[in-house]
Chain A
Amino acid sequence: MSVIVEPDEPPGAHPPAPPLGGPYRSDTLPDPPMIVLTDRWKLERSYTIEVAEKAGAYVTARRALTEMEPAKLIDEVKAANVRGRGGAGFPAGVKWSFVKPVAGKPVYLVVNADEGEPGTFKDRSIMELDPHRLVEGCIISCWAIGAHVGYVYVRGELALSIRRLERAIAEAREKGYLGAKPFGRDFPIEIYVHRGAGAYICGEETALLNSLEGKRGEPRLKPPFPAVEGAFGAPTAVNNVETIASVPDIVKMGGAKWAALGQLPNDGGSRIYGVSGHVKKPGLYEAPVGITLRDLIYGLGGGIRGAENGRTLKGVIPGGASTPILRPDFLVHAPDEKHPLHKWHGKSEIDVPLGVDTMRALGTMLGTCCAIVMDDTVDMVEAARNLMRFFHHESCGQCTPCREGTAWIERILTAMVEERARPNELELLVDVSNEIMGTTICALADGATMAMLGFVKKFPEELRAYVKRSKAPGLTAGLGTGRALPVLGASSDVVPPGRLVLPRGESGTQRGGAS
């Protein structure tokens, strides 16, 4: 007997956005909501093949395998402008076109379902509520890139996702949609679930491949990229769950039409937004690419929790822990007409549409599109410390700058919180972060330091206040390294991109955004 009672409506499954009721109105947020990818989520037992098929599952896979050639499918995905939903935002169609079979080697599809970026909880819900969409996406994707085997690497903790996905695969197999002749096409396809065992770093695509191969989940040096040398040394497409789950809709609607669902150039479709933290209605909502953080927080999220009692928005992390924080009272400064954000010059950072390129121009990242909202009661140093503890804990330890640097950052923040930071410790924090950037095998360290520097840029006064309150004596040398501490900003006039020169003195009214 199993101890898990399978709930028909699992906890964690919030229904898609209800039509907007309240006073919030916006040009960018469609009302009624746009429901494409999540259209089956509200159905009872949506994860079974009977329900999913009644609602249209596998119609597109059948058409793709019986009527469409792989090259045509790749063209549709290219036309769809689907930017990878796993965080990096690479165009999926372009990635697929890099995956070329090599003589004597198979091609693999690997789906990244290791969802672990703090703040992110969309992929789990896709697998729990509509696993057949993912399976259908896998079938079409395998055919498109020429893979006979697809592995779905699911985070080990996600037991319900694994169970529902295994079941969906079995059901599809029974129906003849997988196996030796899917939909009668002489092109065998098998999909396997590979269960992870708890390690955030396995979400990084090359670490994931090592883990799939039964090794420690340590990232590999790139190049070679997975498209050339991926799983078991063979060309591999690694894609996020949501990216692959979007494929059936892309093929069904046609790439160009699907792309037009989005509101931004070169960034198409509709996607799942998450919002957690201090909002009235945290959860997952589907909306077109290009809504704003304001739409997400005040429209879909129902506004700030406790607004009646004076609570206001202090900061928001737009797309998972690695993405630098934004402040509603910071304004976009882009007077140059050629600047990509010129259209939003003078507006709040949270009024810039959420897109891969727009967020990058703003100095942050779109990431996974799952925002963490913090109200005015939040201590930003504590928040930063929480996330930096996470990155330190999850560093795989291969690269010294990452292993030691994340430890330093956590230690400095802890010293601040415990009011025993030394006078120049904020400068040290910035220095360590600057030093780590760009020196490591994978992007975990860059993500951690970008996020850290984001806190420094946006809330320097809070960090300084902690240092001021501390009573420790001055620091004269690097923490036991024997290295004299560089004086911040003095080492070089030219600051490499991404690095931060800490502004001296108070800087509370600094204007944020594009620089």
Chain B
Amino acid sequence: MTFTLSPEREKLLDQIIARYPEKRAACLPALQLCQEQTGHIEEAAVAWVAEKLALSTAQVQGVVTFYTMFQQKKVAPNVVWICRTLSCELMGAKAVQQALEKKLGCHAGETSKDGKVTLLKAECLAACGYGPMMQLNDEYHLALTPEKAVEIVEAAKDRARDLPIGDPGGWQFGPQGGGTR
């Protein structure tokens, strides 16, 4: 199996590489672009990134396994991260998780029966004053109730996801770290 980054993404990656004194520093952005393209980090993508940044595949693989946001397995088109750390827990995060598990028919860490949503537990997502909260793809949903959480996730299931390239939700990296709308 081979992997190549789409030309637009590769162009962007080249611009990002130029931001650093060492090529290697673009390892995280490169992997982020790969994951954005295919939903998770494929084995072939690791080799591609290694080649591109003149690293060994072991080095790149070591990076992939270190960070929780890199998905090593295929995930559903929608990923829900539910915060289970103390502030959210005090406000009822457990009930939110249980409601979602019931509705989706899967446990946290698994993908729903219909294959549309992967449910994951997260540690504090820096929204502690507004818990319980979850992250649905790139969006934060705050001050949840179990009912509200179920409603939001159900509504998202059939929404088209068509993110622009190279960006966490709607903003493009431009040359030299700037951006153009």
Chain A: residues with CB nearer than 8 A to chain B?
1-4, 6, 11-12, 14, 106, 115-121, 123-124, 155-160, 162-163, 166-167, 169-170, 173-174, 178-179, 190-200, 211-218, 232, 274-278, 282-284, 317, 321, 370, 372, 374, 378, 383, 386-387, 390, 393-394, 396
Contacts and interface: CB of A to CB of B under 8 A. Distances in A.
Contacts of A106: 21
Contacts of A215: 24, 27, 63
Contact of B86 (A169, A196, A321): A321
A278 B159 contact: no
Interface string B61-105: 011001111100000000001001111011100000000000000
A317 B124 CA distance: 15
A1 B128 contact: no
Given A124-B126, A197-B67, A390 B85 contact: yes
A160 to B, nearest CB: 7
For A158, A191, A383, A396, which residue has the most chain B Cβ atoms within 10 angstroms? A158
For A3, A160, A216, A232, which residue has the most chain B Cβ atoms within 10 angstroms? A3
A380 to B, nearest CB: 11
For A173, A213, A217, A276, which residue has the most chain B Cβ atoms within 10 angstroms? A276
Given A282-B130, A284-B129, A372-B128, A3 B28 contact: no
A174 B179 CA distance: 10
A214 B16 CA distance: 12
Nearest to B142: A11
A306 B40 CA distance: 44
What size tier do the contact residues of chain B reach?
35 or more
A160 B70 CA distance: 19
Given A170-B179, A190-B177, A197-B69, A211 B28 contact: yes
Contacts of A160: 138, 140, 169
B128 A197 contact: no
Contact of A121 (B27, B67, B126, B161): B126
A214 B53 contact: yes
B137 A3 contact: yes
Contacts of B163: 2-3
Nearest to B91: A277
Contacts, number: 212
A58 B55 CA distance: 41
Contacts of A162: 167-168, 171
Q: Interface of chain B, helix or strand or loop or mixed? A: loop
A155 B67 CA distance: 11
Nearest to B176: A190
A119 B123 contact: no
What 8 pairs across the A-B complex have the smallest Cβ distances? Answer: A214-B27, A2-B170, A198-B69, A197-B67, A159-B168, A198-B68, A159-B138, A170-B179
For B22, B62, B170, which residue has the most chain A Cβ atoms within 10 angstroms? B170
A253 B177 CA distance: 31
A132 B66 CA distance: 32
A390 B123 contact: yes
Nearest to B138: A159
Contacts of A116: 123-124, 126
B22 A199 contact: no
Nearest to B63: A216
A283 B137 CA distance: 24
Contacts of A119: 86-87, 124, 128
Contacts of B86: 118-119, 277, 317, 321, 372, 383, 386-387, 390
